[in-house]
Amino acid sequence: MRVKFFTTPPRPWPYLLINANRPDLRYLRHAKEVIIDSGVEVFRDPEVKDYPRGHLEEVVNLYARVRSRFEGAVYVTALDYPDDYNPRSLWISDDVTNIERTVESVVKCVERYPWVSWLVPIQGHYRDPRSVLRCIELYEERGIIDRFDYFAVANLCTEREPYIVYRTVKVVRRRLPDKKIHVFGLHLKALRLVYNMIDSFDSLAWAKAVERSLKYPNENYMPKNRRDRVRYFDAWLRKLERVAEEVERCLTLEDFVGRGP
């Protein structure tokens, strides 16, 4: 599969996603590449308006800890401010939205810790594909685009409409044709539309997706042990591989777009 899939797995997997708030390094020695997230899930709580004091330093310390044990590529997601968990919750004003806050945060991260391999998040407004242009333009003004080669579309984690995902990623790819593009929280239905435009994505939805596919009677059922989790994970990977094979072998991006979302 050409596109790399990052996750927090129940067994050895080459592309690890490490949660900054709950780091799990069990399978680090089996990995090829690692992405450390920013701990952005703190903003699921609408009362939370900023990262905890000292959070950036904790993330950087985690990066140093991983680097001391791992020789492969390690990327750290610079601290960003999402709009999809609770729309407009992190806006200070109409002029200082989550986009402007993200850009200032990223500049702070890269200037304070230039030795860290940063994955630069591209934020946007909730369900507004063209809003990511504002983020890219601000990065261009601050020299971030020229300085880095790996960027992550960060405003789609809760998005279930494949065509919105497609339009957003298309905007980013057109503006950054020579950069590596990652997508946070990408769903399999949308993967078909954007597979040929991205280099990597991450997802932690495999347990719930496999749960539905296996038709457990209780929708809230979660794997009770490691064997269950591995079984769920491997079944979801088979679905992912089928999607990748279908795109790579048979169909073009235009074929999928022609089918509709």
Res 205: pLDDT: 74
**Tokens linked to 254:** 């235009």
Question: Which CATH number is 202's domain given?
Answer: 3.20.20
C-alpha 158/C-alpha 84 separation (Å) is: 6
Q: What angle do CA 240, 37, 112 make, to 5 degrees?
A: 145
54 is in which domain, residue-wise? 4-259
Output phi, psi for 195, to 5 deg.
-50, -40
Q: Are 247 and 257 in contact (CB under 8 A)?
A: no
Q: What does 151-187 look like in DSSP terms, one character per residue?
A: EEE-S-TT---HHHHHHHHHHHHHH-TTSEEEETT--
For 17-72, the pLDDT digits (tens) are 999 999 999 999 999 999 999 999 999 999 999 999 999 999 999 999 999 999 99
C-alpha 193/C-alpha 197 separation (Å) is: 9
Sheet bearing 150-153, strands edge to edge: 4-6, 200-202, 180-183, 150-153, 118-122, 73-77, 33-36, 15-18
Mean pLDDT, 10 residues at a time, over the chain (261 residues)? 93 96 95 97 96 98 97 97 97 98 98 98 98 98 98 95 97 98 94 96 75 51 69 89 86 49 40
Helices 162-175 and 132-142 cross at an angle (nearest 10°) of 20
SS3 percent helix, strand, coil of the chain, rounded to 5, is 45, 15, 40
How many domains does the chain contain in total?
1
Res 15: pLDDT: 98
Res 17: pLDDT: 97
Res 231: pLDDT: 84
Res 214: pLDDT: 53
Res 170: pLDDT: 98
Closest to 205 in 3D by CA, of 143, 159, 164: 159
